[in-house]
Structure 1
């Protein structure tokens, strides 16, 4: 593995700094979310999806810039507010904090393992994509046919496994193949989405007996 051109200390330091700045922007969006009218959350969610799709399209052209990334993080943070509020109402603030701590610990653990190991997890890509589509299908079915608490717990467990898998896949790919400074905005978004989705499915798991 050649670190000299794509995985030097400068991109790593810039990635780390950018990631924490992006988290700060998302946290700011979460704080702002408490003053956003309920009727605005659907348009904001649609905007979040559009921004993500634009980034995915622009990624192939190496055109994902920092303004686009920070815009996505701000909107994403704002749309998280009603979701977090929903789970606070169901399971309580203490349980939400425990879920967050568990997400941080598990995410950090698998990310460190993925970076340090000599194993190549690139084979997981196809399985994880299929798993994500299967998870989406189950969520759509649940919308029309509510599952039992056991069924909801099973979906949540599947979501946790899938996004832990994406964390291993993404971090291992970065460690093995490196990245350039131009890749940093999209890398930050990928890592953020891995963590946030892991957190959300841990929350769903905790609340399975309450729904």
Structure 2
């Protein structure tokens, strides 16, 4: 019993990871409020650049086997909260506030269900890692193409469904990887991964609803 207690004291439990994720989500919400009320639209582009630089830094650090700290995590989630505001405002204009709220609740429900399943399941979802990484790169490439080639309602619908499936897969994969706990210094990175899964799932659900609305108007 003493050995087990000693081991757990040197491990970031899954519960602790989820607590830090919840705090990160709250920080992001505060960032969204700041984006809505305090930050001029002309400065949003600067926050997007900061967000991209920090994301690239995360990939480089992971490649080198290094971890992020709590200050990096909370700064990043605050910045992404700011950059989320124009996205949410745009979809709010298309869908209305009620549907945006429903999308957030649907995201929370899907995320919670998948996380609970992955946590309780005896299945090993590590086999999804390679496929999810390649599929995520594909989504990024599609995003770059969409900057130059407008997508119709059908492509937007397909893109949004793919995004929902891929980030649902990431929830299963990451929760299955973290449910046994991680080292204390790895907790911020684990929480960041789960945070990104949640936010991207939310965005793709919004995109899906917007595509459905686009179909109904055609």
When the two structures are superposed, what TM-score results if normalisation uses the length of structure 1? 0.90
Q: Where in structure 1 do 4 or more consecutive aligned residues deviate above 4 Å?
A: 6-10
Shift of 1:69: 0.8
Q: 1:107-156 CA distances to partner (integer Å, 9 max, x unpaired)?
A: 11111111111111111011111111222222333332222212110100
In 1, the alpha carbon distance for the partners of 2:192 and 2:186 equals 10
Instruction: List runs of 5+ in structure 1 lacking aligned partners.
Output: none
Q: Does 1:169 align with 2:173?
A: yes
| Counterpart for residue 121 of structure 1 | 125
Equivalent of 2:71 in 46, 67, 72: 67
Q: 1:171-198 CA distances to partner (integer Å, 9 max, x unpaired)?
A: 011125x301111111111000000000
Equivalent of 2:22 in 20, 23, 27: 20
Q: Is the 8 A contact 1:62 1:182 kept in 2?
A: no
Q: Does 1:205 align with 2:205?
A: no
| Counterpart for residue 33 of structure 1 | 35
SS at the partner of 1:144? Answer: coil
In 1, the alpha carbon distance for the partners of 2:124 and 2:100 equals 34
Pair 81,124 (structure 1): closer, same or farther in 2 beyond 3 Å: same
Shift of 1:163: 0.2
In 2, the alpha carbon distance for the partners of 1:110 and 1:70 equals 25
Shift of 1:3: 9.6
In 2, the alpha carbon distance for the partners of 1:125 and 1:73 equals 24
Aligned residues: 209
